[in-house]
Structure 1
C-alpha cells in the first residue's frame, strides 16, 4: 500500500496513523508528469483498515476542494450568458478515488447531525452549502479560526429559515423600491435617476444590516454609497421626504435661502436619520458622494473614525482599539471597485495604526457592466472583488434573484465583522434594467446581455410570486402596499410645489459654527508669554527613563529650550509646536497625518520621539498637564495621498473641534489626491454645506531638486479659488491659500483655523529651506496677545518718497531678493510680501502702497515659470483693485516645473533675483 506524503499527513492528523506505521521504506517513483515524488511503503497494517482510512482521507480532500473551489461554479449570476455552469475539476469526486455509494464519516468534517453517510449525500450537502445561490471565498484566510468559523457558518445557512414576518418585510421593501422607480419613470420620464431596477435585493441588505446594527447596540452607521439605487434607499428606508426630492427634480434648491451654495445633483442627496427597530434604534448617516466613483469610501472611513473618537471608548492618541458603537458600510459598483485605485489604498489603510476603524462591511452591487463595458473587458481577475484577497478579507457571492439568500449573506457578513472586526465583502450579482441610466440604450454595446434582461421578470415580482405560492402574501395585500405607497408619493409630489427646505446645517457638534461673512474679519490669535514658555518646554520634555537620540538632544531639545527661554529665534517647528500645544491646552484635538509626519520630511518637526533603546514612541504634547483630555494624534500614514487625504477630509467634516492637518511629503505629492481637492475640499461647502477646517501643508521651493518636488503647483489651487478679481474679498471664499514667510505667520494661521466661528480649508504653501534659515525666525512678541496673521508684510526701513520701485513676492523668494538687494547696495526698492493669495489682500495692499507716492515700477517676482506660480492670479487682481500696472520677473514659461540640470538651475536662480533691480524694468 502506497501513500503520498500529503495523504500520510492527513491520516496522521485525523486517525493517529503514525502510531501504527512501522518499518517504513522510502523511495522515489515517477508520476504521470515525469516528476519524481517521495512515497512511503507501509507494512504491518491491515489492508481493509488502510483502505478505509485512505477513503476517509480522500473524502476530506473533496470537502476541502468544495470550500476552496465551489464558488467557481456556484449559481450566483441571475443573467449569465453561459448556457451551463462551468465544470470545476476539483469538485469531481472521482478525482479522489471515491464512489457515490461509499460510506464516509461526516463527524468533525461536515457541520451536520449525521455521523456518516454516502459520498452522494455528502455531495448534496456540500452543493447546498457552497455551490448554490450563495457561495464564498474564504479558504485563503490566514487565520485558521476564521476559516473554520466561516466554514461552519456556510454549512449552517441551509438550515436557516426566515419567518413569515421577515419575508413579508423583505417583499415590501422590494416592492416599494420598484414602485418608487415606476413612479419617477411615469412622472419624470426624461429623468436620469440611476434607479435600483435589477438590484432591488440591495434593499434587503440595507434593512437587515440596519436592523442587526440596532439589535447589537451599534449607535451609528456611516454609509458611503454611489448613485445606483441611492434615491430608492433614501425614500424607502432613510426617511427622506419625497417632497424635497421632487422639489429638487423641479429645479429648486435643497438648501434654505439663507445659505450660500451652488448645490449638487439629484443622485448625490443625503440623509441623516434615526431608524427604529422595536425598542432599539440606530442612527444612519448617508454621506454625500461626488461623481468621482469610490472617493466617498475614504471619506466614510475618516468620518467613522472621528465619530469613534467622540464615543471615547478607545485610546486614540496612542491608537489603541476602536469604538464598537460606530459601523462603517461601503457600497461599490463592480467596475469601480477594482478599477479605482483608491479602493486598494483604503484596504491598505484599513488595518494600519491611526486609520483602523474595526472593519467595514462592503456591498458590491455587481451590475456586470461598467458604464457600457462588459465585465470581461473591465478587469483582469475572475471577480471584481478579488482585491479583497490583498488583506485576506472573505467574499460572499450571492444571486440577487434570491432575496432571502441576500439576507442570509448579510447576516453572515455582519456576524463576521462583529466577531473579528475585519473587512468583508458581499458580491451581489444583479443587473441594470436600463443601462447606465434610464435614457441609455445598452443594446448598442451589450445586445446579448440585454436580450436576457428584457425577457425576464423583475426581482420584486418574482419574490412576491414565491410568497404567494407559499401562502404568505396575497394579491390584494400586494396591491394595498403598492397603492398606498403610490398615493403617498402623489401627496408629496403635490406638496413639492411649496416645499421649503429644512435647515439641517450646523447642528449638534457644529452648533455655534456658521458660514463665513462677506466682510473681512481679523482675529486675535496670540497667546500669553507664560503659556508660550510653558508649552515650549513641555513640547520637548520626555520621561526620565527615555533615551532620546543624541543628535536630537542637542539640535532639538536643548536648542528649543534655549529659544523659548529667550523668546527669540523661534524657528518653524517651534512655532508649530506652540500653535498645536496652545490649541490642545484650550480644549481642541489635533491630528496631523501624512508620510513620516512625526519627524517631518526634512527632519524638523519631531513631535513624536522614539526611545533609542526600547523603540517606544512618546509624544510630549500629549503630556502638557496631568488631566489633559485632548490629544495630538500623529498618524504616520502609508505611502498614499488620495485615500489618506480623503480620510482626513472625512474626519474634518465630522467635528469642527478637531484640527486636521495633512502634510504632503513634497508639495507636488498632492496631485495623487487631486480628486479630493476638486470634488471635496474646494467645493464641499458650496455643493453640500459641509464646512471644514482641514489644513494642507505643501512643501514648496526651488532648490535644485529638479522637475519634481520643487513646486506644489500653487497655480492649480489658485485656479480652484473663488477669490474675486473685481471686488474686495470677504471671508466667505471656498478656501484659503497662503504662503507664510516666517514662523509667527504660520503660528497664527494654525490657531486661526480653530479660533474663528467658521471653518474654511487652508492650503499652506509650506517652506523647505526656510525651516532652518537663520533670517527666518520670529520672537514671542510676534505671537503674543493682540497679534494676528498679516495678509501682507511691508518693510518699515524701506518706505517713503525715496522708493521708486516695489517688488511684490511671496515665501522664500523674499529672502533671496532681500539678500541680493543688500549685496547690490540698492536703496530705492522696497519688497512687499503677499502672505495670503486667497482671499486676495486688496485692502492691505492699498494701505501699503499709500506709503509710496513716487513708485514708477511694480514688479511681481517669483521662482516659478511664468505659466505657473501666482503670476496669472495676482496680475488681474492687482491691476483691477490697486489700479497700477505690474510687470513679471521669474523663470520663462516651461513644460516642467523646474530644470534638472544644476548649472542651468543656478543661472536661473541668479537671474531672477538680479534682473528686477535693473532699471530696464522701469
Structure 2
C-alpha cells in the first residue's frame, strides 16, 4: 500500500501566532513544584524550537488567503525505534554508531514527522541487520567482476577511453540490490539512466550485455547489424543501450544516453510514465506495462549539482502528468567534477534534492554492504510514499576524467591518496575472508575466475559476433525503418463519426458551469459539425485526436497551459467556474466506446528541456501513442536544444530508436519583436539529413512542415500514427491562422480517402496555367497576405504555390506543378523571414539541383534578430515584400 503524504491547503488557525506570542512573552501557566516547572520549561523549549523550525509552514504569507501549507499527519504517533529496548546508558553509543560510521541518513529537513520517523526507524533496522553469507558473497562477486572488467579492458585496449568504474565499484552492489529486491517492493520493470562512469561495468556484470559487443566498439567496429548500417550511424562505446529479463520477474532497460550529462534523466522518467499510465489493449498486453515501473537515475556528483535539467526534473516530480511515483537516484560521488575539486557551492552534491524534501542516504564507497542496504531502503521508501529518494555514494575516480587523462595535473594531493590505497573490492574481499567460511571464499574465487575466462572467450569471438538490433521487438513489431521512397497514406475518416467526435469534444455535463466567454466558442463548434464547413484549427486538432482515440491510440498533449492553449483557442480541458473541477470532454467517448484510447493533457511546469525530454521518453515507449509537445511560442524550443539535437534529431540514427513525437512551434512574424516570432525553422532544416541531390524518400530523420489549413494539420497528426514507421514531426504551427476566416477547411477535406498534400497548387487562378508568367512559391501564413494582395491588384498572370512540407522535400510534386506553367518567365521564393532565416537557404539549392528551377528571392534582408521590435518598421517591411512580389 502506497502512502503519499500530501500537503493540506487551508486557511491557518489564528491560534498558532498566539501560541508563539505566549512563548516569547512568557505568559504561561505557573506551577508550584519544581518538577512541574522543569516540565513546563522543557515543553516551552520544545514548542519554541518547533516554531523556530516549522513556524513558516503556518505563517500567513498569502495576501489572497487562498492557501497556507500545514503538513498532514504531523501529529501522528511516532514510529517505534529499534533502540527502544536498550537501556538509557547504551542508547547514546548505539545511535552514534549507527549514524556516524560508514553510512548515514539525512532526513531532518523532511516536513512530515511520520515520514521522518519512518525513515529513521527503517534506516536503523537496516544498519543493525547483518547480511547473510550468500548475500555477502554475491556482493563481493559483483564488485570484483566489475574491477576485473576494468583490468581486462585496460590490458587489451590501453588507448581507449572506457570511463571505467574503478573507485566506484560499490555502485554495482547498489544496483544489484535494486534488481534483486525490486519485485518485493512493487517494482517489476526498471528503466535506468546513467552517463559514462561505470556504465560498461554495469552492462557486463549485471545486465547480461555481451562483452563482445563492447569489445567491437573498442576495436572501432560497428555495434549495429550490417543490414541496418545503411540507415544508422551507431554511437560511441559509452552510450550503448540494452534490456534484460531476470529470473525473479524483473525486467531492466538501460536507455542510451548522449554525452550531455543528465539529459537522459527526463527521458527515463517519460518512458516510465508511459508504462504506468498509457492504456494497453488487454488482448495484447505487454508484460512490461504495469504500475510497478521504476525510474532509476545514476548521476555524477558535478553533473547532479551543476546541470539545470536535474532541478527541472525534481521540480516536476509531483506535477500531474509527470509524476512517476518517485525515482531512485544514485550519485556516484567521485568528489571531483571533471578536473576541479569543488563542483558546487553547498556541502554535499546531493543537497539539490532537498528542494522537494527528498531524503538522502550517504554511503562510504568503500562499504558495498552499506550500498546494498541503501538500495533496499530506497525501494521501501519509494514503494510506501511514492516519492524520490537519493543515495549519495561518496567514492573516487581511480583515473582522471578518462583513462588517458592525468588527474595529478590538477589534483596532486587527492591522487596521492588514491594511488596509495586498496580498491573497494580488495578491501571488501579482505573483510569477508575473515568473516565467511573458507568454502564460500573458494567458491567466490572460482566464480571470479570463470568471469575472467568468459571475458577472454568474448574477446576471441569479436570478429564473429553479430550485433542484434532491439528496435522492432515487442510493442514495436509492427514498425520498421522508413521506405526509400515517398509514401501517401489515407488519413481521412468517416464523416458521421467526425461529427460525433466534434460534438463530443465540446459537450459538458448538465450542471457544469462553463466560463461565459467559452459558451459561444463551444456552440460554434457544434455549428461547424452541423454545417460541415468553417472547420478551424482547434476543431481539426480535436477531430484528429478523437479519431485516433476511437482507433485505439492514446494521445498525450504536453506543454505550458496546453489544456487552454497559448492563444486561448484549444480548450480541450474545461474548468467549472464554481468548483474548479476539470473535465476533458474527448475522454467521454470511452463511456460509449470502452476500447478507445485516452487523452492525457499535461499542463507542464515552466520548463522546456526536462518536459520535452520527458515527452520524448513517452514517445519511444509505444508506437500506439501520439505524443504532442507544444511550445508556448516557437522559439521557446531553444531551452530544449540538447533534447532536440541529441535525441529527437539523431536518436534513430544513433540507436535505432524511433519516435513519433510532434513538436508544435507557433511561428509567424506578427510585429511582436525578436522573440515570440520565429520558431527558427532554419535550425531544424539544418538538422535534417534531407539531401540536396537525391529525391523522393521518406528515409529522413524527421519531417518538417508548415501547414496552412486545418485539414492539412488534421492529416499530419493522423499520418503520424497511420504509417508503419515513426518519425518526429516538426510543425511550424500558426498563431494568426488559428482564427483567420480564410484559413478554414470544409469537413469533406477530412473525409475517408483524403490525405495530406506536401504541396498545394494555386486553387484560385482565374486563367489557364499556360497564361501564368510568374510563379511565387511560399511557405506558411504569408500565402494569405500574398493572395489578398493579388486580389487587390487584380492580377491574373501570377500563381501562388504553397510548400506545406519541407522535409522530405516534395521534388516530384513540384516538378509536376511546374510543368503546368509552361510559359512562366520567373520563379520566385517569397518569405516573411529574413534571408538568413526561414527556409530560403534550404529550398534554393533543392529547387536548383532537384527540381531544375532557379529561384529569385523576395523577403527581408539579413538580420541578427528574427524580427524587428519597431512596429512601424515591421509594417513597412511587410508592405515592401508584397509590393516586390507582384512587381513586373
TM exceeds 0.5?
A: yes
Per-residue Cα deviation, 1:38-79 (whole angstroms, up to 9, x for no partner): 4879552146x76699799999999999xxxxxxxxxxxxxx
SS of match in other structure, 1:593: strand
Match for residue 892 of structure 1 among 854, 861, 869: 861
Q: CA deviation at 1:887?
A: 1.4
1:634 paired residue number: 601
CA RMSD of aligned residues (A): 2.5
1:401–1:459 contact (8 Å) kept in structure 2: yes
Corresponding position of 2:536? 571
* Counterpart check, 1:252 vs 2:183: no
**Which residue number corresponds to residue 736 of structure 1?**
703
* Partner Cα separation in structure 2 for residue 159 and residue 58 of structure 1: 32
Per-residue CA shift, 1:589-609, capped at 9, x if unaligned?
111010111111111111111
SS in 2 for 1:438: coil
Q: Which residue of 2 aligns with 1:686?
A: 653
1:111 Cα offset (Å)? 3.7
Q: Out of 125, 148, 151, which is 1:182 matched to?
A: 151
C-alpha displacement at 1:559, in angstroms?
0.8
How do 1:54-65 and structure 2 match up within 5 A?
Answer: none
Is the 8 Å Cα contact of residues 526 and 788 (structure 1) preserved in structure 2?
yes
Residue 393 (structure 1) aligned to one of 328, 345, 358: 358
Matched residue SS, 2:626 = strand
Aligned twin of 2:580? 615
Do the aligned partners of 2:695 and 2:811 also contact (CA within 8 Å) in 1? yes
Residue-by-residue CA offset, 1:517-572 (whole Å, 9 max, x unaligned)? 11111111111221221211111111222121222111x22111111111111111
Q: Identify if the C-alpha distance between structure 1 residues 203 and 495 changes in structure 2 by more than 3 Å, giving closer, same or farther.
A: same
- Report deviation, 1:216: 3.5
The aligned residue for residue 301 of structure 1 is: 269
Partners of 1:463 and 1:189 lie apart in 2 by 27
- SS state at 1:213 partner: helix
Measured in 2, the distance between the counterparts of 1:778 and 1:113 equals 75
Alignment partner of 1:287 is 2:255 = yes
Q: TM-score, normalised by structure 1?
A: 0.87
**Contact 2:186–2:383 (8 Å) recurs in 1:** no
- Encode CA deviations 1:281-317: one digit per residue, 9 max, x unaligned: 2000111111111111100001001111257799xxx
- By how many angstroms is 1:854 displaced? 1.6
Q: Which residue of 2 aligns with 1:33?
A: none
Bigger drift between 639-648 and 795-804 goes to 795-804
Q: Does 1:266 align with 2:237?
A: yes
Task: String of CA shifts for 1:138-178, please: whole Å, max 9, x gaps.
Answer: 11111111011112223323421111111010001111000
Q: CA deviation at 1:218?
A: 2.6
Say how many residue pairs are matched: 830
Aligned-partner Cα distance in 1 for 2:116–2:854: 73
CA distance in 2 between counterparts of 1:461 and 1:64 reads 49
Deviates more, 1:583-592 or 1:147-156: 147-156
SS in 2 for 1:428: strand
Deviations 1:477-502 (A, max 9, x none): 45423322111111111111111112
Shift in CA distance, 354/473, structure 1 to aligned 2, threshold 3 Å: farther
Q: Judge conservation of contact 1:744–1:778 (CA < 8 Å) in 2.
A: yes
Q: 2:449 aligns to what? A: 483
- CA shift in 2, pair 1:209/1:781, >3 Å: same
Query: In the TM superposition, what is the alpha-carbon distance from 1:660 to its structure 2 partner?
Result: 0.4
- State how far apart, in whole Å, the 1-side matches of 2:726 and 2:291 are: 29
Aligned-residue offset at 1:245: 1.8
Q: Which runs of 5+ in 1 are unaligned?
A: 1-25, 29-35, 66-106, 315-321
- Whether the 8 Å CA contact 2:133–2:436 is kept in 1: the answer is no
Determine helix, strand or coil for the equivalent of 2:299.
strand
Cα 1:243–1:158 change in 2 (3 A) is closer
| Residue number in structure 2 paired with 1:458 | 423
> Per-residue CA shift, 1:175-214, capped at 9, x if unaligned?
1000010000011111111111000001110110111113
The answer (yes or no) to whether the contact 1:311–1:325 under 8 Å persists in 2 is no
Q: For the pair shown, which has the larger CA radius of gyration, 1 or 2?
A: 1
Indicate how the Cα distance of structure 1 residues 438 and 108 shifts in structure 2: closer, same or farther if over 3 A, else same: closer
Aligned to 1:143: 112
Q: Deviations over 1:368-422 (max 9, x none)?
A: 1111111x2x111111111111111101111011111112222212111111110
CA offset digits 1:629-669 (Å, max 9, x no partner): 31111111111111110000000000000000000010011
Residues 200, 56 of structure 1: alpha-carbon distance in 2 compared, 3 angstrom cutoff: farther
Partner Cα separation in structure 2 for residue 60 and residue 594 of structure 1: 44
TM-score, length of structure 2 as denominator length: 0.90
Distance 1:815 1:733 in 2: 30
> Could you tell me which residue of structure 2 aligns to residue 382 of structure 1?
347
Query: Tell me, what secondary structure is at the counterpart of 1:737?
Result: strand
Q: CA separation in 1, counterparts of 2:489 and 2:279?
A: 32
Residue 117 of structure 1 corresponds to: 88
Deviations 1:834-877 (A, max 9, x none): 10010011111101100111222111111111111111111111
Kept after mapping to 1: 8 A contact 2:299/2:332: yes
> Offset of 1:225 from its aligned partner?
1.0
Going from structure 1 to structure 2, the CA distance change for 1:108 and 1:367 (only over 3 Å counts) comes to: closer
SS in 1 for 2:731: strand
Given that residues 775 and 799 in structure 2 are in contact (C-alpha distance below 8 angstroms), is that contact kept between their aligned partners in structure 1? yes
Alpha-carbon distance in structure 1 between the residues aligned to 2:877 and 2:48? 72
Say if 1:397 and 1:58 are closer, same or farther in 2 by CA, change over 3 A: farther
Alignment correspondent of 1:547: 513
**Aligned match of 1:795 in 762, 774, 783?**
762
In structure 2, what is the Cα distance between the partners aligned to 1:108 and 1:607?
Answer: 45
